[in-house]
Every structure is written in structure tokens, then in C-alpha cells.
Chains A and B, each alone.
Chain A
Amino acid sequence: METTNKFSMTVLSRSANESFVRACVAAFAAQLDPTLEEISDIKTAVSEAITNCIVHAYKEGAGKIYITGELTDNNMLRLKIRDKGCGIENIEKAMEPLFTTVGGERAGLGFAVMQSFMDSVRVRSVKDKGTTVSMTKKISPRFKLNG
């Protein structure tokens, strides 16, 4: 399995960047000729990961969010979204559906959405150092007339 394309970008943890980053990732993933549903799934998962950096990791102030994407020759999209924020103490607990450390208007479903809409989601985190969310999604090859 070989990497066929790559990008990386860094944005400040401003909420206006939620739509900016998911649009960028969608445009990058478009090279794999995904369906509209696959594009929506990717945008939603990216939006969850970026929002978590803004709402949780850097709740005390602005910081940088590092995003990298890779395409591989087996039609796979790999994404990494990394922050240098507060970190997650108990990752297993954080990934449980409906678990949230912010009451009120948050549902606690961000990780559940990522897991449901991508093929794999891996979270690594160190308290006070930051968090990296790695996700992959295979894009189904589409039937093409005469190749």
C-alpha cells in the first residue's frame, strides 16, 4: 500500500475554522471519487474532531490544530487531527456514547459519530500534552464504463 498524495495544514482553534477544515478535507478526499454520502461522512467526522480541539483541548484559549491527510493506492483516506491542548485522562470513558465533560448543549456523541462514519478511529492522548485522533476510511471504487 503506497501513499499517492498528502497534505498538511495548521489552523488556529477558532470556531470559524470548523467549516474551513472540513471543506478542505472534503476537497482533498474528492480525488478518490467518493459518493456524496461518503463525502458527508468524512466532513462530519472531521467536524467532530476539529470541534473537540476547540471546545475541549483549547478551552482556556487559542492554540494550533495540526491536520494531515493521506491517500493510498488502495483508495484509502487517512487523517490525523492533533492538538497540544489539555489531553484526555480516560480515553475509553471519553469515547463512550453520551459521555461529555461539558454539560448543557453538548450531546457527548462526537466520538460515536467519528466511529460510525469512518472505518477506524484511534485516539492517543497525554494529559496536559495533547491529543491525536487518527481516522481512516476506504472509498468504495465506483463502476466505470470502459475503465
Chain B
Amino acid sequence: MIKVFKYCFLDLIRSRWTIVYLLFFILTCGGLLYLSGDSAKVVVSLMNVVILLVPLISMIYGMMYMYQVRDYVEILLAQPISRKSIFGGYVLGLSAALSVSVALGILIPLAFYDAPQIMSAQWLMLTAISILLTVIFSILASWLVLANENRLKGFGLGLFIWLLLAVIYDGIFLVTLIALEGFPIERLALSLTLLNPVDMGRVLLIFQLDYSALMGYTGAVFEKFFGTLSGSLIIGGAYLLWISIPLGFLLRKARKKDF
């Protein structure tokens, strides 16, 4: 696994597209920091970029890369190594390379702008959420590739999942909240948030930035939840599930598939 991981990581880190991805974040983050000067506002703007773009790029780039791998993987399958170490290695390499790009893309400009802030909770949270979303969507992408020999269908499903989790879900969420106005729906809102890793990231950041007041009573309930230890544990657990369940699907598919 380590060998495949190392190969994949180095391959991706040197790739033109990974560097473009890194530069994009350096420019966006650096630009926002120097133009606005208010680091909390920059975190919010970056959050909106991260929440839409990180899942999208991880999904599309991940699928493009894994379809390439799928093309030549027979040569690896003929070697005396397990399928788990092959696909585990690739998924790890993909997640790691994209995570490094995003994390460096955010932290390098910040280091130049105001290095001590790297250790501040809001920036750490933004970076952590970027990495979590990268990992989750890289795993989803790899799974979709193995599950769909038909690339058009694979990419279609990938885009649909991204659209659903990063765009549509929010709309449904809002409509639900509005439709059920007047009912005690905080629990529902909380559960809906925990079901979506993108939303969860957004909410975590918003509360880290103390914008909860904007969300009224629901906000207060959320804040209470996120403030407690059990709340943090549940969020951690939800992210763990969002990583381990798709990873389980991926490894299962890798084990069962005919190549």
C-alpha cells in the first residue's frame, strides 16, 4: 500500500493540474487577505469557495485520475499485491495530494500575511474542513469509477452527487425549515446538517466565527449543540462515517470487481 501510495502521491503532486489547483488557492486566499484585511471576513469568503469548489474539484479530478488508473490497473493486479493495497494506496495518494494542495494554498498566503494566525481556531477549522471534504469526495470519486465502467455515467453520477450535497441540499434544507416554521424543528435541522458533510463543514465554520446570532433561535440551538462535548463527538463521528462508509463501499467494490 505504501509503495502505491508513494507513487500516486508523487505522480499527482508533480502534475500540472495539482499545481494549478494550489496556485488557485494561493491567489484566491492571498488576494482576499490583502484586499480585505479582515481575516474573519476572508475566512467566510474562502469558506464559500471551499465548500463549493473543493468537493467539485476533488470529485472531477479524482474521477479523471482514477479512470486513468483503471485503464492500466491490470498491470498492478498481475503483481503479488492485494487489491486492497492497490486501491487503498491510490485513494490515499489522491486524497493526500489534493489535501496538500488545498492546505498549502490556504496556509502559505496566510503565513506571509500574518503567520501567528495559522494557529487560530477559525483558520485551522477552515483548513481541516477543506481536507475532510477533499478526502470524502476523493473516496466517493474512486468508488464511482470502480462502480461505473461507463465513464459518461460515472461523471454524470459524480456531478449529481456534488450538485446534491453542495448545492441542492441547502435549498431543500431551507424550504423544509420554512415549510415547518412554527414547529420545533431544531432537531430536524440538526439531523439534516449531520447528513451532509458539506453542510456540516459550513455550520462548523459559521459557529467558529460566531455568526450564529444571524441564525436566530435555530442558531442558538445549534450553538448549544456544537458547543458541547457530545456535540463535537457526534460531529466527529458523522465525519468518520462519511469517510468510512464510502471507503467500505470502495474496497468492497475493488474486492468483488472483475477486471
Partners in one complex: no
Q: B residues near A, CB below 8 A?
A: none
Q: A residues near B, CB below 8 A?
A: none
